[in-house]
Structure 1
Amino acid sequence: MVSEHDLPRGLEADSVSRALNLVGERWTLLILREMFFGVRRYGRLARNLNIPRPTLSARLRSLVDAGLLERVRYATEPDRHEYHLSQSGRDLFPAVVALMRWGDAYLAGPQGPPIVLRHHECGQPADPTLTCRHCQQEITAHNVTPEPA
């Protein structure tokens, strides 16, 4: 078993820190949530999120620069663009769902979660879990050990 003393001090280059530097800001995660639910256009993002437009513009620009979103023209007269998730952006879906699931469990009001994700295959509300790709068992903080790579 690896102890906390075996891991590098500070973990400045660890993946959680790097990911949070990119997507850890509140508006960024909310923009990504909207994108996962099908919102593509600037005006709709601004309305749905009630976000200041300069903030939205800056966040969208940073997400495009980071390769999480792609800016795609949908009209030429006038020149209009919408945003599409790139593969790396789509790969953030499990992280957003994990935050949503945690919020549903610990922060939902008496009426329960405000949104459920319905699974297309079985028609039931999804209850996603984190599982091991090799054995399909659920992964928890108690059954994994961090090790230096």
Structure 2
Amino acid sequence: MEAARLIEATRHALAQARTVQDIVVEAWQAQALAEAVGSHLAVQGPFEARAAARGLSEAGCRASGGLCRTASRAGGLRAAQLTEVRDAWTVLTRLAELLGEVGIALVGVACACEEDAVYWQCIEGIDAADETTDRIGGLLRRLALRERGGAA
């Protein structure tokens, strides 16, 4: 499945999430998607952006480590369906927007929760979304330099 469609599916699932567990699952789904997009671009993206794409993949991987257990109960990893990235700029921009939405949702959960474990899981997710968004920004800068014909 094309990356933009997976991002929209994750955005929709996050918007529909009503429970704390559902919001946390969608946060980790977004991180797994960042890992998959980064991995895809590290192999098939523009040469000048491959190192930055590997960094994105690594950031998503570190953040989504605990997802596998939760995702198996929620129907599996959506990111496993990734087959192509048609427009890297659009995909990365939408992914950054999704991660911003994830951060906002997690802040809401962290502020409202009464369990320490859930609170710290949300804080970890917020940090992960922030780091991954920073990696996307770096990758977008590399792509912009490439388009302008400059060295990255």
TM score, norm. by length of structure 2: 0.35
Greater share of residues in strand? 1
Determine which structure has greater relative contact order: mean sequence separation of CA pairs < 8 Å that are 6+ residues apart, divided by chain length: 2
Bigger-Rg structure (1/2): 1
Greater share of residues in helix? 2
